[in-house]
């Protein structure tokens, strides 16, 4: 929901920094891989109970995820780059909740499982829609120039990152927040299924 608003505000900064990285010979794929690595380090820090370190690392990871797109816009997008970007995004989105589950299994396991289930359903609804949209040669610029067809929804990357940050600041509230956000993710998936029925039916 907030991705379009956020892009308008951070893309100029990302484009300037991405230009410098591209000029230094750093590839978009290298940034994608590095961002995922830092994201996994964030999950490990969270699992160890180092929540503030995890917060810093996950924010650095998402900065790298934004910069890979900026570099790709300069050097040219590739199918491999688009593929790696979406797959490693899902690696990150799964790793952070898992980190909180490992940090306190007794308190967080059930809520973490529900949240990961909601991500699975929401992610599959997003990717399946993108496949059908590509089959029909559909295009959209709702989220800028992307390798995949992006459908908007109530819970997108901006909301997910914000919730992950809240988890780090208030780790004791992980179960309650996870149930609420997971429910919103399922609502987003349902709304996308309804949209698919109207569009592809």
In the chain, what are the domain boundaries? 3-200
- Percent of the chain at pLDDT above 90? 59
Of 5-9, 104-108, 117-121, the range with the lowest mean pLDDT is 5-9
User: What confidence tens digit (pLDDT) does each residue in 129-145 have?
Assistant: 888 888 877 776 555 55
- pLDDT value at residue 7: 62
DSSP letter at 151 equals P
Environment class of 154 (CB within 10 Å of its CB; exposed 0-12, middle 13-18, buried 19+)? middle
- pLDDT value at residue 171: 98
Whether residue 106 has pLDDT greater than 90: yes
Distance between CA 75 and CA 29 in Å, rounded? 11
Of 37-41, 86-90, 137-141, the range with the lowest mean pLDDT is 137-141
Distance between CA 185 and CA 128 in Å, rounded? 16
End-to-end CA distance of the chain: 25
What's the Cα-to-Cα distance from 123 to each of 11, 89, 186, rounded to whole Å?
24, 11, 10
User: What confidence tens digit (pLDDT) does each residue in 47-82 have?
Assistant: 999 999 999 999 999 999 889 888 988 888 888 988
Whether residue 40 has pLDDT greater than 60: yes
Contact, 142 vs 4, CB < 8 A? yes
Listed in sequence order, the DSSP H helices in 25-104 are 28-47, 51-75, 79-103
For CA atoms 123, 118, 121, 88, give the dihedral sign. positive
- pLDDT category, 18, cuts 50, 70, 90? confident
Smallest CA-to-CA distance from 44 within 91, 96, 93 is with: 96
| Topology (CATH) of 3-200 | 1.20.120
Of 106-115, 171-180, 184-193, the range with the lowest mean pLDDT is 184-193
């Amino acid at each position: 929901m907030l991705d379009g608003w956020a892009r308008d505000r951070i893309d100029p900064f990302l484009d300037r920094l991405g230009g410098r990285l591209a000029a230094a010979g750093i590839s978009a794929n290298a940034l994608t891989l590095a961002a995922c690595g830092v994201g996994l380090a964030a999950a490990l820090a969270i699992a160890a109970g180092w929540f503030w370190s995890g917060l810093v690392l996950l924010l650095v990871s998402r900065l790298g995820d934004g910069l890979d797109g900026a570099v790709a816009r300069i050097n040219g997008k590739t199918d491999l780059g688009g593929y790696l970007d979406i797959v490693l995004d899902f690696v990150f989105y799964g790793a952070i909740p898992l980190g909180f589950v490992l940090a306190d299994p007794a308190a967080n396991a059930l809520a973490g499982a529900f949240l990961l289930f909601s991500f699975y359903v929401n992610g599959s609804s997003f990717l399946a829609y993108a496949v059908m949209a590509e089959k029909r040669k559909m295009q959209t610029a709702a989220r800028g120039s992307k390798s995949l067809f992006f459908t908007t929804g109530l819970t997108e990357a901006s909301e997910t990152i914000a919730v992950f940050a809240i988890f780090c600041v208030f780790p004791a509230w992980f179960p309650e927040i996870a149930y609420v956000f997971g429910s919103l993710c399922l609502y987003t998936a349902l709304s996308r299924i309804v949209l698919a029925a109207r569009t592809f039916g």
